[in-house]
Amino acid sequence: MSTAQAQVALVTGAAQGVGFHIAQRLHQAGYKIVVSDINLDAAQKAVEQLDASGDSAMAVALNVASKTDYETALAAVLERWGELHVLVNNAAVTRATPVMEISLEEFNEVVSINLGGIFAGCQVIGGYLASKGYGRIINMASLAGQNGGTSTGAHYAASKGGILTLTKVFAKELASGGVTVNAIAPGPIDSPMVKALVPEERLPTLLAAIPAGRLGDADFIGDMVVQLARPEAYFTTGTTWDVNGGLFMR
């Protein structure tokens, strides 16, 4: 397989936060980047930050809860660059509603986006990659899916736990097509999402509970994605890489 310089990576929810850091690190590693987001204007602004010329980055509108949106996004990428090699399923919504107050509608909405988006992405993009005989899929899970969550809601935790299983399912399904499927499960990262969930006065308590004593680094998450996206990562599939400061050890 060719080097990263010739490869194309699509990152969902990449207009801001950890998703943008992932896109930025992949771009710095030589990948052409597809910044996908439900907010196309925000995605276009992110592209301008990555590459003002637009030669090595493009924006697409993508609601991950829609399989049709994935198909449309894939068609747009193939029309622009003729190929796609890497999918990073990052997009998610976070709710912190107390478990006994979560309506079924809210539960279904969160699971549809967070878990359904992974499923649709692995089906559509994974199927394309397998048909070409090569691909890398990295799913963004969460510590919440392993320990039941602390600052997040039950629906968020449940959806992120499901990602661990879907990662294994698609790793088995797509392996014969040269496609690896792995997950990364971050704990609290220094990101807008964590700051929105954890009020400033509660931050010292959160940090005190983390053995490493500090929040995680979003750029490091991006670096882990780059490692899993490399052609040389062919022997790593179906795994979940933990990045949680020691909050969950196994």
pLDDT at site 5: 52
pTM for the whole structure: 0.94
Tell me the pLDDT of the chain (250 aa) as tens digits. 444 557 999 999 999 999 999 999 999 999 999 999 999 999 999 999 999 898 999 999 999 999 999 999 999 999 999 999 999 999 999 988 999 999 999 999 999 999 999 999 999 999 999 999 999 999 999 999 999 987 789 999 999 999 999 999 999 999 999 999 999 999 998 877 777 777 778 788 888 999 999 999 999 999 999 999 999 999 999 999 999 999 999 8
Instruction: Indicate the SS3 state at residue 45.
Output: helix
Single out the catalytic residue among 31, 128, 134, 156.
156
- Cβ count near 212 (within 10 Å): 12
Sequence-separated (6 or more) residues with CB below 8 Å from residue 32: 7, 8, 9, 56, 57, 58, 81
Amino acid at 99: V
For the question of residue 134 being annotated catalytic, the response is no
Side chain identity at residue 234, one-letter code: Y
Domains assigned to the chain: 4-188+222-241 (3.40.50.720)
Report residue 159 CA to chain centroid gap.
13
Distance CA 38, CA 21 (A): 17
Q: Are 93 and 110 in contact, with CB atoms under 8 Å apart?
A: yes
pLDDT, residue 3, reads 47
Separation of CA 215 from chain center: 19
CB 22 within 8 A of CB 222: yes
Asked if 87 and 34 touch (Cβ cutoff 8 Å), the reply is no
For residue 1, the model assigns a pLDDT of: 42
